[in-house]
Structure 1
Amino acid sequence: MDGSVELQIIVEGWRFIYHSYCVANQFQLLEMLASRRENIEIFHRDMPYIDRAWETKISLFDRPNETLLRSIPSPGVNQSADVTLRMYCPWDFSVSSSAQTWVFAATEWGVITRNVLDAMGVRSIAQTPVNSQVKIITPSAWSKAGLIRSGVEADRIAVVPLGVDPQIYYPAQGDRRQSLRDNFGWSNYFIFLNIGGQTDRKGIRPLLKAFAAVVDKYPHARLVLKGSELLYPSRDEIAEACRVVLDDAERARVLPRLIYTGTQLSFAEIAELYQAADVYVSPYLAEGFNLPVLEAAACGLLVICTEGGPTDDFTRSDFALRIESKFTAVVVDGETLFMLAPEWEHLTDLMLGAIEQPGIAAKARVAGPGFVAEHFSWRCGVDRLFEVIGGDKQGEDQSIFEPIIL
């Protein structure tokens, strides 16, 4: 490279919190800033959080990356560029002053929900300029299908998957893994792990029901749930799920074997949870991508996740077991949503099999990290992003991430 700037990008978004849009934005920014991309000039405009209570005092990254993120210059008030990329909610589909305007948008429930539309101040996505000059990047075929089902024209959307940083998410070897398990107090247990908001759509109810059956046979099993009290009332969601789906005998088995933390952790600390666990379990009902499944695979964990959703894009049989599910339309407060209903009995069988057949996890420990590093690093994701904003979005989007409209 000769050092000349070939592409100017203004990113408008969130930083420094553990929200999915923010996580994607920060890692994309760091990859764009990598030395091999010296012909890219980046500006960042911080957008207000939906809730000021989201502000956190901890550093999510190590000091060099934190410093790098904070060093990105802000654009001028009326500054234009080759591309403006918006990475925040509510979505803004108005045309920017840049040559191209792209909006990151993900749908979980198979459609754009009423809550999202209300936040934008419209009753329908058709009341926005979404099908004019602005285009959308979305992280999965499932999410793309939801946008199309809601009225977004297919040629306005490009699938750009999320990724992982292999310098953070990788398997811990030998003594290091044992040391982590000792520090967490997990040495004598078989650890099932789940990380996320612990809301109904994340699958907390089928997970608890299946775990109750697992510990009836294997009382040394433990379920570790990492929530985020900053963003969601995860502890309350778990308590409510226990009351709803478990009977008295099941609660008596589950509660002493349930380990919960809602503490804010850095990305490196989150990686240690993956590195120390035995299996990652995600019986989700509705997701736009489900990044923790990808992070877990990168750390060498066998993953058990719902079949038919966005994780189909980036999981393979040599490191992932898919839970049988049924695509279901549900009406909630007069609104039709679409979800995947995972079969908790099949989930139970898969969790039992993970304990009884250790060779499955041993195979995943090798296959998962290699696959993710090759195909779903943040470098791969940002390469794809640059293909898209450079006008080359046909081909890969069609062959690998072709959506199924249900």
Structure 2
Amino acid sequence: MTLVFILFGIFLILGMPVAFAIGIAGFVFFLQQPHLPLTLPVQLILSETQNFNLLAIPMFVFAGNLMNETGITQRLMRFASVLTGHMYGGLAQVSVVLSTLMGGVTGSSIADASMEARILGPTMTEKGYNRGYTAAVHAFSSLITIAIPPGIGLVLYGSIGEVSVGRLFAGGLVPGLLMALFFGITVSITSRKKGYLPEREKRAPLKEILPEFAHSLWAILFPFLLIFALRFGWLVPSEAGAFASVYALVVGIVAYRELKWDNFKRCVKSTIADIGMIMFLIALSALVSYGLKWEMIPQQLTQALLGISSSPSVIFALILVFLLILGMFIDSTVIILLLTAILVPIARQLGLDLVYFGVIMVITCATGLLTPPVGLTMYAVCSIMECSVADFMKEGWPFLVSLIIVIALIVLFPQLILFVPNLLFGT
């Protein structure tokens, strides 16, 4: 597998699309094994696309695009505005709250950050917000969507690691809310120093908040309905994705009456593009995954780590540092696809709860979306906001500190992740 990883790294440096880099490098493994038939890679790719659990991913992507076409985003933004308008950095606070509410709609960090940068970004710069600061707020707050159901990373981890997706969704709730809290505090502190004043003098009265809450209720309810449906066995993960799509259609056509034929066609086109990219990556990653299992890399890595230290805490810390560094160079989706099968057996041998480990793994890997040299979310918002990466990093470091504090808290206090799953699903 050494040659496979060397080729994969070279292809990435040369700018080859990640899916092709994985696929070509993975195929080289089979060329090195003359006793394996060359028809096997084709069979692996096809069988990977037929994984029933992965059916949830295109369904959730479709549901998120549908909800964005039904006016839910604007309703959630108005609700977030009345909640935070009296705070320092009011528009930046709107971004944090909106990401928290949008987690149940998009499930994607890049989609959320790009959407907010386009909708809120121009208004914030007109009000005097620094472009780098605006980009940093949108990018870091978008990480909340990674943890709030239905995060795509959690679905991938659950499908590959054979971990309950329902428990993972429930486990992501508190970390997501913690990120929202710490990012909100960070916005408040930095906005006071920079002079970003509140949008309104007084807190919005209840009679103003309640109507906006009612208008946003369908979107706010969605992640909770999803978790409860999984909890009581009404849905399995793949069915939950279909439920999400039907829910979005009903909301768009019946509740809000804003989903028209043109919107629907645009939604289908964007969904096909998104799904094609994701599923192509998943399918080709099967080649590398097979090679890892064939050469017993998980078992070898487990023994190597146990040889470094007998302390589970030390080994866990090493894994987290490794994931954090790797996330700076490789997209989080790729890391989850390639390393879940390796790390889950190690976590099991260390005695770690796989839901606890999975939520931390997904959030830690996603941190790399915001750091050079690969940070996809960072580059997306910097491009939209027309600011440099240096300006982004200069303004974003307080948010990075807040994110690291949240990761440290959920690592040190496992019940922050496990309390809700244990409450809903049992221990």
Higher relative contact order (CA 8 A, sep 6+): 2
Q: Could you tell me the TM-score, scaled by structure 2's length?
A: 0.26
**Which has the larger share of strand?**
1
